[in-house]
Amino acid sequence: MLAALILFPLFFAALALLLPWYQGRSWMLPLAGTLHLLLASFLVVRQAPVAAPGTWIGLDSLSKIVLLATSLLFFCCAFYAVEYLKLHRARGNKVMAPCLLIFLSAMTLAVVARHLGVLWMAVETTTIASAPLIYYNRNRLSIEATWKYLLICSVGIALAMFGILFIAYSALGGAGPATLQFDKLLAAAPTLASPWLHAGFVFLLVGFGTKMGLAPLHTWKPDAYGEAPAVIGALLSGGLTSVAFLAIVRGVQLMGAAGDLTMARHALLGMGLLSLLLAAVFMVRQPDIKRMLAYSSVEHMGILAIGIGIGGLATYGALLHLINNALTKGCLFLSAGNIQRAFASKNLSEVRGAISVVPVSGTLFLVGFLAITGSPPFGLFMSEFTILRGIFSGGHTAVGVAFLSLLAMIFIGMGATVLAATQGETTEKKVLFKDRFLLVAPPLILILVVLLLGLYIPEPLRALLQNAANLLEGKS
């Protein structure tokens, strides 16, 4: 069942490659997206027992959360992509459609992997599959962004491989046979040689941290998100970063089982605070709306790292934040794409008064900004508040104060750019683009879900989040 979830997007990718019909190829995406969402929700809801130890793929509470978030995000992006590809007929979709589907498959495999080697392979495949997507616009800037993305992420992932090999070596001295199967590693964790395990975790953190975009390893992010089509930016910033975060969380789980949770937490906390700081610095007076979103992504990766780094209640908050961030980033990127189309620019020098030109997209962008900065009543308010409660109840007052003041700085910096882009008089004379149903409905759905999560968290979801947090805390 789980294998089908990974394999059927590949089947659709092959179909999209063979199909000689442009619209048909585009419609493969929503078809696969819908099927993926249905199957994924069925698998998550069905209270299946955790797969027997020794299998390569399986679902636990942590992967269920990431699977739900990425699947819902892909579902919305797929419908958006159909209309997007219709607008860019000249550029074709022969590469875009199959690559997106391979990307979906690799992302799913990375989420459900119970074997560190398989996890690595899947994450590397997502890098390769998304490079042609970033290059979709085929101009000088997108080449530069693609080259940086490919090189930096490949080297980062190579470091993560070293980390995985170190962890495997740490198991070599123990009683059992050498393995990279995650459940077996967890069971053997107390016997792992700790110098190798520590070195392995550091390499893992740096490697997958590059992919996730934690400062100071985020340098590819503004370029790639800025130059990629909006729908790709949404999938990278909402989906791929969550997957990379899950890979780091696996490392934390292992460190926890080995009794070295403190070291892992300190490392995450340091990187998280640095991410917030760098994001705040670069977000102020940022004239480019998509680069601004990229720095916002760095910020939220930092918040996730801080949540895990503090532990306790904050872990629960961080996991809820992962869902909220993925969906809100989707809404923001998709509506920013519409604004960019309306002004043929993403720079504040030309983008002014978006609400009067593309009313729905402009409003969605503004609402998305309110949501992402943690204003009530959206879901991010709840999750950031939970993390904050965790920070203060854990007695980390200094961290809490720094966290709050950086968030305030980011709110002001981001607000200046977003308000200038959406409000006021437009200078645009002729209308290049009007809101279309398939280009505004997906971001609308995403932001509605985020709103819903802020008002009410269904009991099954709360239980799922609590279970996942317990997994990380070492309670069962």
Residues that bind another protein (CB under 8 A): 115, 117-118, 120-121, 124-125, 127-128, 131-132, 135, 138-141, 143-148, 150-151, 154-155, 158, 161-162, 165, 168-169, 171-173, 177-180, 193, 195-196, 199, 222-223, 226-227, 282
**Gyration radius (Cα) of the chain, Å:** 21
How far apart CA 376 and CA 453 sit, in angstroms, is 11
Nearer to another protein, 179 or 325 (CB): 179
What is the smallest separation between the CB atom of 431 and another protein, expressed in angstroms?
Answer: 29
In this complex, which beta carbon is closest to another protein, that of residue 75 or of residue 282? 282
The least distance separating another protein from the CB of residue 123, rounded to whole angstroms, comes to 10
CA distance 93 to 130: 14
By beta-carbon proximity to another protein, the closer residue of 98 and 311 is: 98
Distance CA 464, CA 470 (A): 10
Number of neighbours of residue 158 by Cβ within 10 angstroms: 15
Closest to another protein by CB, 131 or 410? 131
Please say whether the beta carbons of 264 and 345 come within 8 A. no
Residue 137 or 375: the one with the smaller Cβ distance to another protein is 137
CB count within 10 Å of CB 152 equals 20
Please state the φ and ψ torsions of residue 213, each to the nearest 5 degrees. Answer: 90, 35
Residue among 235 and 269 whose Cβ is closer to another protein:
235
Q: Is the dihedral of CA 322, 326, 327, 332 positive or negative?
A: positive
Rounded least distance, CB 146 to another protein, Å: 6
- Minimum gap (Å) between residue 64 Cβ and another protein: 24
Q: DSSP for 419-472?
A: HHHHSS-----S------HHHHHHHHHHHHHHHHHHH---HHHHHHHHHHHHHH
Judged by beta carbon, residue 169 or residue 433, the one nearer another protein is: 169
Nearer residue to another protein within complex by CB, 119 or 267 = 119
| Residue 292 or 447 having the CB closest to another protein | 292
CB of 298 to another protein, least distance (A): 13
Q: 367, 449 in Cβ contact below 8 A?
A: no
Beta-ladder partners of 347: 288
Give CA–CA dist 88/85, Å, rounded: 5
Q: Which helix (H) or strand (E) holds 265?
A: helix 261-283
Q: Distances in Å between the alpha carbon of 214 and those of 164, 209, 245, 304, 453? A: 19, 5, 10, 10, 26
CB of 109: closest distance to another protein in angstroms? Answer: 10
Cβ at position 27, least distance to another protein in Å: 26
Of the pair 207, 374, the CB lying nearest another protein is at 207
Write down the least CB distance from residue 195 to another protein, Å.
6
Least distance in Å: CB of 173 to another protein? Answer: 6
Task: Scan for tokens 């961030």, then name that residue.
Answer: 325
CA distance 454 to 323: 11
The number of beta carbons lying within 10 Å of the beta carbon of residue 86 is 15
- Measured CA to CA, the distance from residue 271 to residue 128 in angstroms comes to 26
CB of 198 to another protein, least distance (A): 11
Of 178 and 463, the one with the shorter C-beta distance to another protein is 178
Q: Closest approach of Cβ 97 to another protein, in Å? A: 17
SS3 at position 173: coil
Q: How many C-beta atoms surround the C-beta of residue 262 within 10 A?
A: 11
Query: CB-wise, 110 or 380, nearer to another protein?
Result: 110
- Tell me the closest approach of the beta carbon of residue 288 to another protein, in angstroms: 9
Question: ∠ CA(247), CA(95), CA(447), 5° rounding?
Answer: 55
First-to-last alpha carbon distance for the chain, in angstroms, is 26
Torsions phi, psi of 56, nearest 5?
A: -85, -25
What are φ and ψ of residue 419, in 5° steps?
A: -65, -40
- Respond yes or no on whether the N-terminal peptide bond of residue 222 is cis (omega within 30° of 0): no
